[in-house]
Amino acid sequence: MAIEYLAFLIPLLPALAFVITFFFGKKMYSGGALIPIGAIAISCIISILITINLLQNPEEVVHQSFHWFAILNLGILIDPLAGVMLCMVSFVSLLIHIYAVGYMSHDPAKPRYFAETALFTAAMLGVVLSDNILQLFICWELVGLCSYLLIGFWFQKPSAAAAAKKAFLTTRVGDVMFLTGIIILFSSIFTIYNGNLPEGVYVLQFNEIFKLIPELSAMHTTILGSEVSMLTIIALLFFGGAVGKSGQFPLHVWLPDAMEGPTTVSALIHAATMVTAGVYLVARTFPMFMGAPDALIVVAYVGGFTALFASTMGIVMNDIKRVLAFSTISQLGYMMLGLGMGAVVGMEAVGVSMFHLINHAFFKALLFLCAGSVIHSVGTQDMRQMGGVGKVMPITFITMLVASLALAGFGIPGTQIGTSGFFSKDAIIETTYLFGEHTGNYIPYIFGIVAALLTSIYIFRLLFMTFTGKPRTDYGGHESPSSMTGPLSILAVLALFFGALTQTKFYHFLEGTFENSFVHVNIEHLAELGNYHLVHGHHGEPLLILWMPIIVGVAGLLISFLIYYLNVVDMSKIVSRNNVVFKLLYNRYYQHQIFIEIISLHLTYGLSLVGEFIDRKIIDGIIDGISDGTIAIGEIIRKVQTGVVQSYATAVIAGVGLLIILLKLIVEVQ
């Protein structure tokens, strides 16, 4: 039996594990943790087997479709893009689950935790597997729900409940845009077919959508006086959904607060499941973006800006998890930036971006799990209270060091020596340089380089503050159990070597995403739709450009080393309440104030006041008016009913008299 026929089990098993663990977990060992672990392990094995098959024969993608209703279907699509995502998601999720057995050992609500993370994984696998945009959206929403449940896992804490709400509402903004995009897409398809949708064709399936890209691109509508292609609008709305889910500026505000959940949840959200969904969406619908150059440029700028913006805030945070949260936002920005470069490099943009996504998943999961290990042992998240942790937790220290090197992208250009981050992040930066070379626009490149410098600074600052020097407080601490250090070691190995082993193969593999037995998209042709030309083969970059990322990486390491290890510069003098730059960064550019006070309190509150006025005074007023009028009339008419029998008698007699007269008249008329 071919393994492909088991593909439907990939999301189904974790979903089943959710049900079993949720209802029966209490009586099982360790809150029923073994069931999700087993289910995800099987999913992972199936995913890897399918992906290996796919590697040998990239043309034959797995596609199974079941009729749902009318013109909609439920389907499974495993092409190279989905395959690598499936392997990454299930594998990283598996490691995090194993790690969580140790990390969550003291928590009384273990069954709920494991059930929810299993559902989270199932939803994310569902997003990856979907072969049509609607099914993707359903799973997408399920991911959002699970993130809400897990961020608010310790809902007894008001801050956790608030963070969960914030995450849910913020991503909801993006989700609404995504849904609007789907609706516009569907109505546009309807228009293209003149209302006669073809029989037996599921129009929301990706291959059908991609077929219609030229027609969508030809449809125009006018927004604010300028003519915009329908495709651009749809692509931008999809990107809006991705912005919400992947924490891009300006909807990134929920990600740092999402640290309120258990650290394992943070790792799951940041590495494997939630935030990658947005990047995956853009990659999945990449042909649409190719046909809409304006949308692609927006993706690039938003991504680049987010990368830079988030990394500046990462420098001043004192909470170890918050630093990592901003790091995630920044790295997601890189991925978007990479995708946005598709205007020049075509499919390779998906390659570099997804490659960074996979590598990032490994080293970011590792970073979070290390941080969790430290928090588990030290009992605080504030780096100012740590210091010297490396002596008591050697394994954690080494794995953290590996992850940091990967994040900062250390390696030697021109060779196969380097951490995974080196191969992926530097590839993105090189692509941005290529973009600048061909369009004369070097802004994305500058974003990328400066963000790389800042990344290096903040991650080594974290490393030095936490693991080196002398303990600043008396925290005790001990190395974590093997169920925690085991996943750390595996992830560390991957973070070190995955990039070097797979880079070229990976790009080539992903090239087949949009050209196989399921879908044929001619990227070159789409690029012509958007009026630009793709560049092939780019090995002529100056040596300085190749070395630039590693130079800024080392520079960042040195700066951090000087300040936080040797204490050459006394930071306490610079980092004071009066320093404008520090205040700006520490208060996260006053985004909180902007969002809460300006948008929430004034804009939204004002709008809701108007809404309330309309609802209370006008709509309710009409209804209340009707009922008040009825009551008033009743009050008047009810006076007739005196309750005095004599009055009734009078009325009856008068009535009888009049009736007789009437009868008489009628009879006589006849």
Q: Nearest approach, Cβ of 655 to other proteins (angstroms)?
A: 10
Six token digits for residue 623: 């209804």
Regarding 221 and contact with other proteins (CB under 8 A), the answer is no
Please tell me whether residue 654 binds other proteins under the rule CB under 8 A: yes
Q: Which stretch binds other proteins (CB under 8 A): 461-469, 522-530, 573-581, 648-656?
A: 648-656
DSSP state string for 196-239 = -PPTT--TTBHHHHHHTHHHHHH-EEEETTEEEEHHHHHHHHHH
From CA 510, how far away is CA 512, in angstroms rounded?
5
Selected binder of other proteins within 196, 643, 666, 670 (CB under 8 A): 643
Q: Do 402 and 492 contact (CB within 8 A), yes or no?
A: yes
CB of 635 to other proteins, least distance (A): 15
Cα separation, 154 vs 275, in Å, equals 21
* Interaction between residue 646 and other proteins (CB under 8 A): yes
Around 161, how many Cα atoms within 13 Å sit in the side-chain half-sphere? Answer: 4
Is residue 657 a contact point for other proteins (CB under 8 A)? Answer: yes
Whichever of 593 and 647 has its CB closer to other proteins, that residue is 647
Q: Residue 581 or 652: which CB sits closer to other proteins? A: 652
**Number of residues counted as binding other proteins (CB under 8 A):** 12
Tokens of 159: 């801050």
For the chain, the first-to-last Cα distance in angstroms comes to 94
**Which amino acid, 539?**
H
Tell me the closest approach of the beta carbon of residue 630 to other proteins, in angstroms.
Answer: 20
Q: Which is nearer to other proteins, 609 or 631 (CB)?
A: 631
Per-residue buried b or exposed e for 491-506, using 16+ beta carbons within 10 Å of the residue's own CB = bbebbbebbbebbeeb
Q: How far is the CB of 632 from other proteins (least distance, A)?
A: 20
Name the segment binding other proteins (CB under 8 A); options: 273-281, 467-475, 503-511, 655-663.
Answer: 655-663
Is residue 596 part of the contact set for other proteins (CB under 8 A)? no
Tokens of 305: 């800006």
Closer residue to other proteins (CB): 473 or 647: 647
Residue 596 to residue 142: CA distance in whole angstroms: 27
Select from 15-23, 528-536, 627-635, 647-655 the region that touches other proteins (CB under 8 A).
Answer: 647-655
Could you say whether residue 661 binds other proteins (CB under 8 A)? yes
Q: Which is nearer to other proteins, 224 or 637 (CB)?
A: 637
Question: What is the rounded distance in angstroms from the CA atom of residue 277 to the CA atom of residue 124?
Answer: 7
Instruction: Give the residue with the Cβ less far from other proteins, 625 or 657.
Output: 657
Ramachandran sector of residue 56 (left: φ over 0; alpha: ψ -120 to 50; beta: rest) = alpha
Within 10 angstroms of residue 510's Cβ, the number of other Cβ atoms is 24
Report if residue 653 touches other proteins, rule: CB under 8 A: yes
**Contacts of other proteins in 366-385 (CB under 8 A):** none
State which of residues 2, 567, 650, 665 lies at the interface with other proteins (CB under 8 A): 650
Largest CA distance in the chain: 122
Q: How far is the CB of 661 from other proteins (least distance, A)?
A: 6
**Among 234-242, 391-399, 425-433, 652-660, the segment contacting other proteins (CB under 8 A):** 652-660
Residue type, 380: T
Which residues lie near other proteins (CB under 8 A)?
643-644, 646, 649-650, 653-654, 656-658, 660-661
